[in-house]
Structure 1
Amino acid sequence: MEKQNTMPNKKAIFLDKDGTLIRDVPYNADPSKMELLAGVADGLRQLSTLGYTFFVVTNQAGVAKGYFREEALAGVEDRLQQLLSDSGVTLAGFYYCPHHPEGAVQAYTKRCHCRKPMPGLLLEAAVMYGISLGDSWMVGDILDDVEAGNRAGCKTVLIDELRHERKKPLDGYRHPAYIADNFSEAANLILKNT
């Protein structure tokens, strides 16, 4: 009997949600307020031609802070899946962290390994889907996204349209491989460096 190869061999792009894929409405759990940012649909379609699988990895501290119930995130995921599907893009997974160390809902008030900048969400998806993290990317709009991606062993792109994040210290795990002004530029950077 031949031994089966169990090495991860798929490549992925891990995507922050708010401010990266959709307009950032703080603590939003209302699907009707969700809209894709310019360039997201085209960029993801281009990247899909390279065989990437797409995953959302998002902090949802609104659950821990009592702004909305965890069950509300099912509607958020459904709406995001619909927006992307309407654009010809398939989202393989939606991973979120509902925790915050200074929450108001006791069950969710804690330090955890899934809240970015920790890499837990990326590691969980990698195990479940056989993702090679060294062949994968993390794209986000804050340095916590970059740190999570770097800690997981991915290449990283910071989308910093307003140029606030790049004014902060970019060192250690918080140093992105690339900085882009928008999603289209981020996609082009990945296309050129794959």
Structure 2
Amino acid sequence: MSDLLRPAAFLDRDGVLNLDIGYAHRPEQIVWLPNVSSAIRYLNEAGYYVFVVTNQAGVARGYYDEAAVQTLHVWMQEQLRQDGAHVDDWRYCPYHPDGTVVAYRRDDDWRKPSPGMILDLARCWPIDMAGSFLIGDRASDLEAAAAAGIKGHLANAAGLLDQVRHLTSDRSK
């Protein structure tokens, strides 16, 4: 089984893949950040799994439903595939302790800074956690990475492609 293990890049969505406008849930709201598809394609070609882990409190706040999140992720995947890139799996947390939708008003171990989404992916995929990392745009992302036992990095102003090239170059040494 160890031959099947591959490192993973866990990516937050809003603020890492797309401009964080607050509660984006429709394709027309997505403004891709520069070189995102190139960065994901680079990770794909370098042998990394690519996972998106995103808090989606807009569900708990009643701004949109889970179907909207899933539909958006399908659309995002289609856009990435047009550029020869793909995300291997997606996780989102619809819960928030201050939610207005009762069914989603709770704290949950999938909600970052808890590591639940990362750990769930680690149970479902043969991931080399020691070689894996997370890129996020908030301290809660870094806390989730640390709690899952992987390295966490804030999104780099130079762009995702330069950042993943740098992070994966360490692996080849």
TM-score, normalised to structure 2, is 0.92
Aligned to 1:64: 60
Choose the corresponding residue for 2:80, options 77, 84, 88.
Answer: 84
Gaps of 5+ in 1: 162-180
For 1:114, the aligned partner's letter is: W
Greater RCO (Cα-Cα under 8 Å, separation 6 or more): 2
For 2:141, the aligned partner's letter is: D
1:140 Cα deviation after fit: 0.8
Equivalent residues of 2:43, 2:164 under 8 A apart: yes
1:160 Cα deviation after fit: 5.0
Cα distance in 2 for residues equivalent to 1:113 and 1:84 = 29
- Asked if residue 114 in structure 1 is aligned to residue 114 in structure 2, the reply is no
Choose the corresponding residue for 2:135, options 133, 139, 144.
Answer: 139
**Deviations along 1:21-66, whole A, 9 cap, x unmatched?**
1121211111222132102122222222220011100000000011
- Asked if residue 129 in structure 1 is aligned to residue 125 in structure 2, the reply is yes
1:125 Cα deviation after fit: 0.7
Larger radius of gyration: 1
Gaps of 5+ in 2: none
Q: Considering only aligned residues, what root-mean-square deviation do their CA atoms show, in Å?
A: 1.7
User: Number of residue pairs matched?
Assistant: 171
Cα distance in 1 for residues equivalent to 2:111 and 2:35 = 27
TM-score, normalised to structure 1, is 0.82
Show structure 1 runs of 4+ deviating over 4 A: none
1:89 Cα deviation after fit: 0.8
Aligned to 1:98: 94
